[in-house]
């Protein structure tokens, strides 16, 4: 299975390749599509349920070690508009 990480939405462990990496750039959550951005990363399954759960639980500031407020607009926008198949296709293009 390789390297595993825990999803912040459902709290299940999964292969690192099956999860989205998110990093804090300044005070903003940014999806690290290529997995190369510097800094601490946190992971979530690329499905609405997991992204939505992580946003409702407000786990991103703690997971990314940002004590002050963290802008999660990019994740909120994705959760509101993206479909699972769009995200899966984007992840497959990166492979």
Question: What percent of the chain has pLDDT above 90?
Answer: 45
Entry pTM: 0.79
Share in percent of the chain as helix, strand, coil (round to 5): 40, 25, 40
Q: Does residue 75 contact residue 31 with C-beta atoms inside 8 Å?
A: yes
Question: What percent of the chain has pLDDT above 70?
Answer: 81
Q: Does residue 44 contact residue 11 with C-beta atoms inside 8 Å?
A: no
Cα-Cα end-to-end distance for the chain: 16
For residue 15, the cross-strand partners are 4
Number of domains in the chain: 1
Helices (H), 8-83: 48-56, 60-63, 73-81
Please give the DSSP secondary-structure letter assigned to residue 92.
H
Tell me which residue range forms the domain holding 26.
4-94
Give yes or no for residue 23 having a pLDDT over 80. yes
pLDDT at 88: 61
For residue 54, give the CATH number of its domain. Answer: 3.30.1230.10
């Amino acid at each position: 299975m390789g390297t595993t990480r825990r999803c912040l939405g459902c709290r299940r462990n999964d292969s690192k390749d099956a999860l989205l990496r998110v990093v804090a750039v300044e005070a903003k959550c940014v999806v690290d599509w290529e997995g190369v951005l510097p800094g601490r990363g946190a992971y979530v399954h690329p499905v609405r349920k997991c992204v939505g759960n992580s946003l409702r639980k407000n786990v991103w500031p703690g997971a990314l070690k940002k004590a002050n407020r963290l802008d999660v607009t990019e994740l909120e926008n994705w959760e509101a508009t993206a479909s699972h198949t769009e995200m899966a296709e984007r992840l497959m293009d990166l492979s």
